[in-house]
Amino acid sequence: MPANKKDKTSSYKVVWKGPVNRASGLGIASREYVKALRQQGVNTTVREVRSREPQTSKKQKVLIYHYSPNTLNIRKEREQFKTIIINTVWETTRIPSRWIKPINQVDAVCVPSLQNKQAMRNSGIRIPVYIVPHGVNARKFTPRMKKQPSKKTNDKFVFISIFGFQHRKNPEALLKAYWEEFTATDNVLLIIKTNGYASYENERWIRNRIQAYKDRLNIRKSTAPIQIIAQHLNSNSLRSIYAQGHAFVLPTRGEGVGLPFLESLASGVPVITTGWGGHMDFLTSNNSFLVQYKMRPPIIGMNRKSSISRQFRHLFSEKGQLWAEPDIGSLKMQMRKAYENPLLCKLKGQRARHDALNLSWNRAGFSLKKAIEKTIRIK
């Protein structure tokens, strides 16, 4: 390699602006990306979004912006950084229109999945798009010994589901499928760990929304039990939920990645989910039960009375956006298949764990380092 190119890629500094202090999935990803870059030997500093970098030469400084792209002040940041990369994630076939101009003004964009890269191209993004996957800590999320379902010992088959209480996650399909497919005579339990997005969206509010939905469905039979957890849990408590699960189920409409899917795989728990989205980079028929779907504009589902959770219409109601509407019949069939075949779930779970060992955050750091250095060379 010529000396000038080598110098460009060996002596740069990364300034990371992202939500590293948030408890959300985006916050987890931001922290893990920073840690992974540092493990790759990259000099990485975290800055607040409005803070200014000390006035030094901008020649070897790279900004990675991990907030919403439309909040980037490109003119201000160009005063300090020669190279600017946006790291982002999206869940439909097209990104929001207000993202397009700021993304095309930077030098590259990193996304975590093939579906995300396609969404960028569908939306008219012309700059280089690099896939930098998320990872999972397979030493933190590990398989635990669990009892096999048995009516004799009253050990139930446990479905688990972990998600934010929003329309994209499709809680109404999960609940409807479970209530219609299983009765109190089935040896089964569904544990839902969820959360709202405002102070009033607490556990009581969520429970009331779910009960009102059940009443509207007019389900008269005695349904199988559901356990709802809607408060913040520490990492040990979260791991204990995965430890109880025989199968993870979430009929999502769209995921950029789906961190709970990765955590489920690492925990040795097979996934039941929609067969479209960023998670299809690592979910297969060997480690999951995939649900059939049709692509639909998000606004269609939002306008139905069955919608029970926060919709985020300002993000998901633009013309041309599509996401997956899972087939309820296929969802019920896959849940029933998992329930009646605990040994199959165990085998898929073993494969899930095996696959998760190849999905480390170190791999993500290596991919991000390569993307940074490619971008520097292009400039």
Angle of helix 25-39 relative to helix 259-266, nearest 10 degrees? 70
pLDDT tens digits, one per residue of 228-270: 999 888 888 899 999 999 999 999 999 999 999 999 999 999 9
Q: What is the mean pLDDT of the chain?
A: 93
For 46-64, what is the HEC assignment? EECCCCCCCCCCCCCEEEE
Q: Is the pLDDT of residue 378 over 90?
A: no
Q: What is the pLDDT of residues 75-110, one digit of tens each?
A: 999 999 999 999 999 999 999 999 999 999 999 999
Are residues 136 and 262 in contact, defined by beta-carbon separation less than 8 angstroms? yes
Q: What per-residue confidence (pLDDT) applies to 56?
A: 58
Instruction: Show the CA angle centred on residue 64, arms to residues 109 and 1, nearest 5°.
Output: 75
* Mean pLDDT in residue range 155-182: 97
Q: Look up residue 149 and give its DSSP letter.
A: P
Q: Where does the pLDDT of residue 60 fall: very low under 50, low under 70, confident under 90, or very high at 90 and above? A: confident
Overall pTM surpassing 0.95 (yes/no): no
How many CB atoms neighbour CB 70 within 10 A?
13
Domain with CATH 3.40.50.2000 in the chain: 12-135+361-378, 157-358
Q: Which pair of tokens denotes residue 162?
A: 């972990």
At 322-342, the pLDDT tens digits run 999 999 999 999 999 999 999
Is CATH 3.40.50.300 what the domain over 157-358 is classified as, yes or no?
Answer: no
pLDDT-based confidence at residue 124 (cuts at 50, 70, 90): very high
Query: φ, ψ for residue 309 (rounded to 5)?
Result: -130, 175
> Which H or E run contains 159?
strand 157-164
Helix extents (H) in the chain: 3-10, 25-39, 74-78, 97-105, 114-122, 171-181, 203-217, 235-244, 259-266, 298-302, 313-316, 328-340, 342-356, 361-378
Residue range 12-135+361-378 forms a domain whose CATH class is alpha beta
Q: How confident is the model at residue 8 (pLDDT cuts 50, 70, 90)?
A: very low
